[in-house]
Amino acid sequence: MVRAYIVSTGMAVPDRVLTNHDLEKIVDTSDAWIRERTGMAERHVSDENTAASDLALPASRDALRAAGISPDDLDAILVATISGDYVFPATACVLQHKLGASHAMAFDLSAACTGYIYGLSVAQAYIESGRYKNILLVGVDMLTKVVDWTDRNTCVLFGDGAGATVIQPRERGGVLDTVLGSDGSAAELLYQPCGGTRVPISHEAIDRKKHFLYMNGREIYKYAVREMVQSCHEVLKRCGKTIEDVRLIIPHQANNRILEAVAQRLGVSMDRLFINIEKYANTSAATVPIALHEALQQGRLHEGDLALLVSFGGGLTWGASLVQF
Ligand code: UT7
């Protein structure tokens, strides 16, 4: 059977680093609170001239180079993002042009922090059906551009980043299975109220700060632990595997305490999870591909190893993929 294989990865973050101590000068917070409550120490923040496609581009070029293919070889470009260059058109189209990927179709996919896992399931379906052979899947977000920098509840949590992967058919390894879920009844626990057709942009909406990201962190927290654990159990069961078969869990990096709770409920020690939240904070759709990239770079995964990719985010959305390298 042909499976979707992640043949290469790449990543990019903006140069500018904002530490917890820098944040202490902006809002009423402390390095100790942020570290203890989230595990974050610093995050990368883009400047006013950098948009999502500008980060996606170097990450994609790195992944293409590592895969040994040119942009011309690409059949499809999928970009998971909720903070693209524009409301429309798709950032994937902007990226297609910048790369010069003249034969690729391109579209964006909106599943917030679970965007990469949702995208992986789409790439998986295209590859398994034989429709496409060279797919570029990118997770990119710049939520620092849509947070309220006077709101300590949200502005300390996010960073900007992009993770890119090239996905091709292989007969050994690859994505064994993916499970996905959603619950739109909780959509307003994490959302950007203004800018769509519900609340179009207006002076009044902006005066009421409706253009900023809103999050009810405490409520989201409960869902996150439950659904990430459930997704892991479900995908393992579908593949006839147990958590003991998994070399490394690559989770969404929203909060270290969430990851401790997930590890505890899965019955694994923390060293079985790849965690880089300290350096990048929550980069939304980019956390999983960035973590995967760093895990591979650090030699944490070898041929034949199973990795469990798992995420949770706005929508609400969640999902897990079991991937063999
Ligand atoms: O990636 C998408 C999915 N997102 C998530 O999974 C995020 C899930 N949620 C979380 O990670 C956590 O809920 C947060 C990190 C957002 C917040 O942590 P918490 O332990 O749930 O804190 P809390 O919201 O219950 O707030 C506790 C206290 C409050 O003060 P009072 O009301 O007890 O006096 C907050 O005002 O901490 C205060 N607080 C802060 N204090 C210092 C909130 N933010 C800050 C801050 N610095 N930055």
pLDDT digits (tens, 9 = 90+) for 292-312: 999 999 999 999 999 999 999
What is the per-residue pLDDT for 237?
Answer: 98
The yes-or-no answer on residue 252 being catalytic is yes
Residue nearest atom 47 of ligand 1, based on CA coordinates: 29
Instruction: Say if residue 316 is preceded by a cis peptide, omega within 30 of 0.
Output: yes
Q: Is the distance from CB of 53 to CB of 94 less than 8 angstroms?
A: yes
To the nearest 10°, report the CA torsion of 129, 130, 132, 134. Answer: 110
Residue 217: CB within 6 Å of ligand 1? Answer: yes
Query: What is the structure's pLDDT at 1?
Result: 87
113 catalytic per annotation: yes
Total-model pTM: 0.97
282 is catalytic: yes
- Per-residue pLDDT tens over the stretch 174-201: 999 999 999 999 999 999 999 999 999 9
pLDDT above 90: residue 284: yes
- Does the C-beta of 225 come closer than 6 Å to ligand 1? no
Question: How far apart are the two ends of the chain, measured CA to CA in Å?
Answer: 16
As its CATH architecture, domain 3-171 has 3-Layer(aba) Sandwich (3.40)
Q: In 1-104, at which residue ranges do the beta strands (DSSP E only) sit? A: 3-12, 17-19, 42-44, 76-80
Residue with the smallest CA separation from ligand 1 atom 30 is 153
Tell me, using a 6 A CB cutoff, whether residue 254 lines ligand 1: yes
Asked if the domains at 3-171 and 177-324 fall in one CATH topology, the answer is yes
- Give the model's pLDDT for residue 310: 98
Q: Would you list the domain boundaries of the chain?
A: 3-171, 177-324
Q: 32 C-alpha to center of ligand 1: Å? A: 13
Please compute the mean of the pLDDT values over residues 28-55 and round it to a whole number. Answer: 98
Q: Where are the beta strands (DSSP E) in the chain?
A: 3-12, 17-19, 42-44, 76-80, 105-109, 135-142, 160-170, 174-182, 190-191, 214-215, 248-251, 306-313, 317-324
Contact 305, 247 (CB under 8 A): yes
* CA 266 centroid distance within chain: 21
Per-residue pLDDT, 212: 97
In CATH, the number for domain 177-324 is 3.40.47.10
pLDDT in tens, 197-245: 999 999 999 999 999 999 999 999 989 999 999 999 999 999 999 999 9
275 lines ligand 1 (CB under 6 A): no
Angle at 71 between CA 68 and CA 74, to 5 degrees: 90
Ligand 1 proximity of 263 Cβ (cutoff 6 Å): no
The DSSP result for 123-181, as a single string, is HHHHHHHTS-S-EEEEEEEEGGGTS-TT-HHHHTTB-EEEEEEEEEEESSSEEEEEEEE
